[in-house]
Structure 1
Amino acid sequence: MQSFLHSKFLHNLHYKLHIKDNYSLLLAISCGQDSLCLLKLFADLKQHLKVSFAIIHIDHQWRQDATDNTKHIINMAHYLKFPLHLHQLNPKQYSEAEFRDMRYQIYIRIAQQYSYNAIATAHTGSDITETCLINMVKGCNIDSFNNLHWQRQINHKIKLIRPLLNFTRSEINWFCKYYRLPIWFDYTNIYYTCNRNRIRHELIPYLKQYYSTDIEKNINIFVTKTYYDTEYLRQTTVKVYLLIKHPYYVAFNYKKLLSQHKCMQIRVLNIFFKYNTKTQLNDILLHQILNELNKKKEIRKLYKKIQFNTFGDWAYII
């Protein structure tokens, strides 16, 4: 029997992700409800899709029940007769960003080694909402409101896809209960030391109760609209940077830069330092640099061990 989520999933694969026949997919699976929903949908629709699947699971050794969790994954892969790739990381406390980077490096390496066309993750619309709220609270710019997109080309052979990106957590919760999926409870998801958990369990329910029951849908619409704005800004920033950068030296024409809108000045400066020094300067330092460029023809400042100077129309690093 197929549910309305099966139909929604098929629509996503065909019209959002353009999955073709004879594709081979690597499914990044944990034992949480989002992952098991993704796994169940692919397993149920295997005959309709005419694609091959394999599971990849990474045991990060964060929890005491990590070994039992891995055994649970092995049992499910055996039951579904899906090939399984297992990886275990050293038991140390990685930051969330470090673990995410290592995890994707492993996904890509396995996809290349076994010639998978795409890596599928179980990110949902609720993840978009949480990411947007987290970055708003941090004071990030609109570029970071949504880093989750339907697909991203990793290289000319492999792409990353997110088939559940218009699924809500409540829909997935219903799906898992209806089909009695064997969800493995991750007790770290209730620890409020993680800001995402507090936003998930306190802030979003509060907003739903007192502001709008469609808060996730509304935020996702907002994020989609801002995506097109940020894409335009990114493309324009690159064009301006290529226009003002020195053809041979690590320098840029700061007078041409100052003729641009303040928004573009900040973005171009950010690219200049990031590309040439591998340094991410914060907004305060970027504004200070712009103020100095506006006040004087020649300046000599030290920003995070970077010596910055001007000569004529050019600002450069020495």
Structure 2
Amino acid sequence: MVQSFLHAKLIHNLCYILNIRDNSSILLAISCGQDSLCLLQLFIDLKNILNLNLAILYIDHQWREDSNDNTKHIINMTKKLDCPLYIYQLNPRKYSEAEFRDMRYQIYIETACRYTYDTVATAHTSSDVTETCLIQIVKGSNIDSLNSLRWKRQIYENISLVRPLLNFTRAEITWFCKYYQLPIWSDYTNIYYTCNRNRLRHELIPYLKQYHQIDIEKNIHRFLRKTYYDTEYLRQTTIKIYLSIKHPLYAAFNYKLLLIQHKCVQLRVLHIFLAHNTNITWNYESLDHIIHRLNRRKNMKKSRIKIQLKTYNNWAYLL
């Protein structure tokens, strides 16, 4: 029996958005925060209704003084649950956010493969979508990065990562945790403004809500839904054109066919070519400089763009 409107909302997300079928094996990647405990409680309540095979995965990053106590808390909290619990500890050293993300994904994949789970579920919410979008805008990222938190993505062969709470608001989750008296472990690092995301969460977004748009999260979600199909079209078009102009044998491309495309596609295709053939991170300015030199039919040597491209007939060869 469905207990609350959030249970019904999750069932809708699983069945109609994520296409999770009966007897699916799901690995719940959680912490002890309110988003994670909401995810865990909802899945436990719906486990039998949807015939789900559940397990819990917890990663101790060891970046807080209370990490060991936090781990003990999750062990005690899950003792009575009929679910396996997998706990991992990372070495206590400083990692970048990207390094932490890569390590987490590697753990997700290894655990899912070892214990035969086909899905990994995380507790990202509507607030995470809003924060990520604003962070990418401030960083000057491209339009692809704005919609980086998606409902579902393939992370390894037959293993999918899903975000079933992506349309849950912070207010809904706070209500749920209070109503069901869930034992939230407060992460005191969430109030430290040394993390830019915390400052954005506690200062910028409340300011925008109060003085500009109370429905900022809903509007950003609407904007991302509208742009999603545009970016997907650009991605597919880029791949098709890249495959049609790349050399069948050498690290080269037909630059004359590239230059008749729209500038947007030129930059995207060139980015794919260089990403596949170099270990260099390419920004918009470098790609634009290469396109400019190709238009002038000039070869490029190592200097500003850090590579050598030589044009011969219709081809631009990477040396």
Would the TM-score normalized by the shorter structure come out above 0.5? yes
Aligned 8 A contact 1:28 1:119 in 2: yes
The amino acid that maps onto 1:16 is: I
2:209 is matched with which residue?
Answer: 208
Aligned 8 A contact 1:298 1:310 in 2: yes
The total of aligned residue pairs comes to: 318
1:131 is matched with which residue?
Answer: 132
2:153 is matched with which residue?
Answer: 152
SS at match of 1:48: coil
Percent identity between matched residues is: 66
- In 2, the alpha carbon distance for the partners of 1:315 and 1:198 equals 46
Aligned 8 A contact 1:298 1:311 in 2: no
- In 2, the alpha carbon distance for the partners of 1:187 and 1:30 equals 14
Alignment map for 1:146-295 (pairs within 5 Å): 146-295=147-296
Gaps of 5+ in 1: none
Aligned 8 A contact 1:28 1:56 in 2: yes
Q: How far off is 1:269 after superposition?
A: 0.8
2:49 is matched with which residue?
Answer: 48
SS at match of 1:209: helix
2:16 is matched with which residue?
Answer: 15
The amino acid that maps onto 1:78 is: K
2:106 matched to 1:108?
Answer: no
Q: Give deviations 1:73-116, integer Å, cap 9, x for gaps.
A: 10111022321001001000111110011011001101000001
Q: How far off is 1:305 after superposition?
A: 4.1
Q: Give deviations 1:225-264, integer Å, cap 9, x for gaps.
A: 1111000000001111111111111011111111111111
Aligned 8 A contact 1:301 1:309 in 2: no
- In 1, the alpha carbon distance for the partners of 2:283 and 2:309 equals 16
- In 2, the alpha carbon distance for the partners of 1:135 and 1:240 equals 27
The amino acid that maps onto 1:121 is: T
Runs of 4+ that moved beyond 6 A: none
The amino acid that maps onto 2:81 is: L
Q: 1:202 to 1:138 in 2, by over 3 A?
A: same
Q: TM-score, normalised by structure 2?
A: 0.96
Aligned 8 A contact 1:117 1:159 in 2: yes
2:301 is matched with which residue?
Answer: 300
Deviates more, 1:97-106 or 1:169-178: 169-178
Q: How far off is 1:215 after superposition?
A: 0.6
1:96 is matched with which residue?
Answer: 97
Gaps of 5+ in 2: none
Aligned 8 A contact 1:244 1:252 in 2: yes
- In 1, the alpha carbon distance for the partners of 2:12 and 2:169 equals 16
Q: 1:45 to 1:299 in 2, by over 3 A?
A: closer
Q: How far off is 1:306 after superposition?
A: 2.3
- In 2, the alpha carbon distance for the partners of 1:90 and 1:281 equals 31
SS at match of 2:48: helix
Aligned 8 A contact 2:192 2:198 in 1: yes
Q: How far off is 1:175 after superposition?
A: 1.0
Aligned 8 A contact 1:25 1:118 in 2: yes
The amino acid that maps onto 1:242 is: L
Q: Give deviations 1:110-130, integer Å, cap 9, x for gaps.
A: 100000121111011111111
The amino acid that maps onto 1:77 is: T
- In 2, the alpha carbon distance for the partners of 1:38 and 1:196 equals 22
